[in-house]
C-alpha cells in the first residue's frame, strides 16, 4: 500500500473515531496528532528515525500543551504504532497535517476545536481551556457497577398473585408505550 493510501486509511479511521469518541478524546486526539506530526516533521528535517518510546505519547501531548499532563495515553498507542510503521516524506507529512486540520474542523464541534489554534503556532489561552473544561464538565459521569450489583429497576414492582397473571398498578401501565421510533442518520465519509 502506498503511503498516501495509508494516509487516506488513517483519515477515514480518524473520522469514524471522532464521530463516536467522547469530547475529552476529541480534544486529546487533536493535541496528540499535533505533537506527533510536528515531531515527525522535525525528525525528517534532522534525518532522524522517530520511534515510539514509553514516554513518547506524553511528550507529544505536552508539546501541544502542558494541560494534557496526566491525561490517559494508553489508548493512543495503537494509533501511534500504525502511523510510525511507515516512513513518510516531508511532503507527505505536510499533506497529512493539512488533512488533519480539515478533518478536525469538519468532525469536531467548533467549541472543542484546538487543532487550528495549535497549527497556527498559537498556544491555548487559559480562557480557551476554561471553555474546554466547561464543555467537559456537563458530561454525566460513566455509570459503573460491580459484577455482583443488580441493575436498578425504576417504577412500581409487579405483584404476582397465585393462580392469576402478574398485576402491575394501572397508573404505571398507562405510562408505558410499546411504540418504537427509530431515527437513522447517515454520515458520508469521504
Asked whether residue 173 is assigned to any structural domain, the reply reads no
pLDDT of the residue at 7: 75
Asked whether residue 188 is assigned to any structural domain, the reply reads no
pLDDT of the residue at 189: 56
pLDDT of the residue at 87: 84
| Counted domains in the chain | 1
Among candidates 77, 81, 30, 84, which has minimal Cα distance to 57? 77
Q: How far apart are CA 123 and CA 44, in angstroms?
A: 24
pLDDT digits (tens), the chain, 190 positions: 445 557 788 889 999 999 898 999 999 999 999 999 999 999 999 999 888 888 889 999 999 999 999 899 999 999 999 999 888 899 999 999 999 999 999 999 888 999 999 998 899 889 889 888 888 875 544 444 445 545 444 544 555 555 555 554 444 444 444 444 444 444 555 4
Using a CB cutoff of 8 Å and minimum separation of 24, what contacts does 145-150 make? Answer: none
Asked whether residue 104 is assigned to any structural domain, the reply reads yes
State pTM to two decimals. 0.68
Asked whether residue 170 is assigned to any structural domain, the reply reads no
Q: How far apart are CA 131 and CA 125, in angstroms?
A: 10
pLDDT of the residue at 177: 46
Q: Which three cell numbers stand for residue 163?
A: 393462580
pLDDT of the residue at 68: 92
Collapsing DSSP to helix, strand or coil, 167 comes out as strand
pLDDT of the residue at 135: 84
Asked if 129 and 67 touch (Cβ cutoff 8 Å), the reply is yes
pLDDT of the residue at 44: 92
pLDDT of the residue at 173: 43
Domain residue limits at 43: 3-137
Amino acid at each position: 500500500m502506498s503511503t498516501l493510501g495509508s494516509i487516506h486509511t488513517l483519515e477515514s479511521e480518524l473520522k469514524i473515531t471522532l464521530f463516536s469518541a467522547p469530547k475529552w478524546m476529541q480534544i486529546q486526539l487533536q493535541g496528540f496528532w499535533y505533537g506527533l506530526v510536528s515531531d515527525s516533521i522535525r525528525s525528517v528535517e534532522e534525518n532522524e528515525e522517530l520511534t515510539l518510546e514509553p514516554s513518547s505519547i506524553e511528550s507529544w501531548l505536552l508539546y501541544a500543551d502542558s494541560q494534557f499532563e496526566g491525561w490517559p495515553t494508553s489508548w493512543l498507542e495503537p494509533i501511534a504504532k500504525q502511523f510510525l510503521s511507515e516512513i513518510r516524506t516531508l511532503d507527505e507529512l505536510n499533506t497529512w497535517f493539512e488533512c488533519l486540520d480539515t478533518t478536525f474542523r469538519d468532525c469536531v464541534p467548533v467549541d472543542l476545536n484546538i487543532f487550528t489554534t495549535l497549527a497556527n503556532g498559537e498556544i491555548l489561552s487559559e480562557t480557551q481551556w476554561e471553555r474546554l473544561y466547561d464543555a467537559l464538565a456537563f458530561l454525566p459521569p460513566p455509570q459503573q457497577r460491580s459484577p455482583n450489583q443488580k441493575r436498578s429497576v425504576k417504577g412500581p414492582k409487579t405483584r404476582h398473585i397465585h393462580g392469576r397473571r402478574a398485576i402491575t398498578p394501572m397508573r404505571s401501565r398507562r405510562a408505558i408505550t410499546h411504540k418504537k421510533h427509530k431515527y437513522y442518520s447517515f454520515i458520508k465519509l469521504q
